[in-house]
Structure 1
């Protein structure tokens, strides 16, 4: 939903304001852009918004969960700050392309989640080592609790 709304906003802005962004936008098209951005915001609230708080609390092992959650949320706040400070400049320079830029990142984030984040549904929090050990990519970097106890 987020990806589709961002692409739609880009198309509307490109068509009605021109590639150089010098044409005026009508009230009807401005309302359309507003509705699309509200749908984008709703899509964020249903998907990425809560997941940025939920995923870090589920993927870290119990012994580092607090620290991992703190670092993840601090990085999230820094990224949100940078995005808010740079959006208007991007919009002025890239015009409708700013929304294509963000749509590209939504696609990259979605692909990352599909390929690199294991399913945690029904997995006890203290068993996350086994999930990481079985994952096709992360198994190279994770040593389970049993192996860590046997090898100091």
Structure 2
């Protein structure tokens, strides 16, 4: 996907914006490259926006949390759709370099900050975050009330 974004940016930088129209061959090439990007996105990053949150949230709040995820996803999809042409006018071919760099940032985030969930039951995913080198500082082992109950001590309310 990064390569396809760079190819699109390079073709637009070289062929577009010099007071001439793109040839049919270059236009067809760009359509194919963008088609391949959409295909690659749909097979890789596209589903992750739905899969990762569905595994992250505990069962007690999963449906409510997924509702918020869907709402936020739709809001940002609408924003990207509305602002793309404006961004294309101002950044020109650079918008595709921006998208390519965002793919690099997302890949680094997933590689370094999300634990592997293969062969882990969905009910135990939270344990991966409680023991992860980064997330253990943010995610706590249950609430104070749950910790009090597990120690056998009453919790003051």
Query: TM-score with structure 1 length normalisation?
Result: 0.90
* Post-superposition offset of 1:147: 7.4
TM-superposed deviation, 1:48:
1.2
8 Å Cα contact 2:58-2:123 kept in structure 1:
yes
Q: CA RMSD in A?
A: 1.7
Residue 103 in structure 1 maps to residue 90 in structure 2? no
Secondary structure (helix, strand or coil) at the match of 1:62 reads: coil
From 29, 34, 58, give the equivalent of 2:31: 34
1:127 paired with 2:124, answer: yes
Residue 145 of structure 1, CA deviation: 4.3
Q: Is the 8 A contact 1:129 1:144 kept in 2?
A: no
Structure 1 residue 103: deviation in Å? 1.1
Distance of 2:13 and 2:55 partners within structure 1: 41
1:72 lines up with 2:69 in the alignment: yes
The answer for the alignment partner of 2:54 in structure 1 is 57
Following superposition, which runs of at least 4 residues in structure 1 exceed 4 angstroms of deviation? 145-148
Residues 120 and 29 (structure 1), Cα distance of their counterparts in 2 relative to 1, 3 Å cut:
same
Equivalent position SS for 2:139: coil
Secondary structure of the corresponding residue to residue 124 of structure 2:
helix
* TM-score in terms of structure 2 length: 0.87
Judge which range, 88-97 or 141-150, deviates more.
141-150
Q: Considering only CA atoms, is the larger Rg found in Structure 1 or Structure 2?
A: 2
Q: Which 10-residue stretch deviates more, 137-146 or 26-35? A: 137-146
Match of residue 14 from structure 2:
15
- Contact 2:56–2:126 (CA under 8 A) maintained in structure 1: no
Looking at secondary structure, tell me which structure has more helix per residue: 1
SS of aligned partner of 2:118: coil
1:24 is displaced (CA, Å) by 2.4
How many residue pairs end up in the alignment? 149
Structure 1 partner of 2:2: 3
**CA–CA distance in 2 between the matches of 1:77 and 1:21?**
36
Query: Is there any run of 5+ residues in structure 1 with no aligned partner, and where?
Result: none
- Structure 2: tracts of 5 or more residues without a match: 149-154
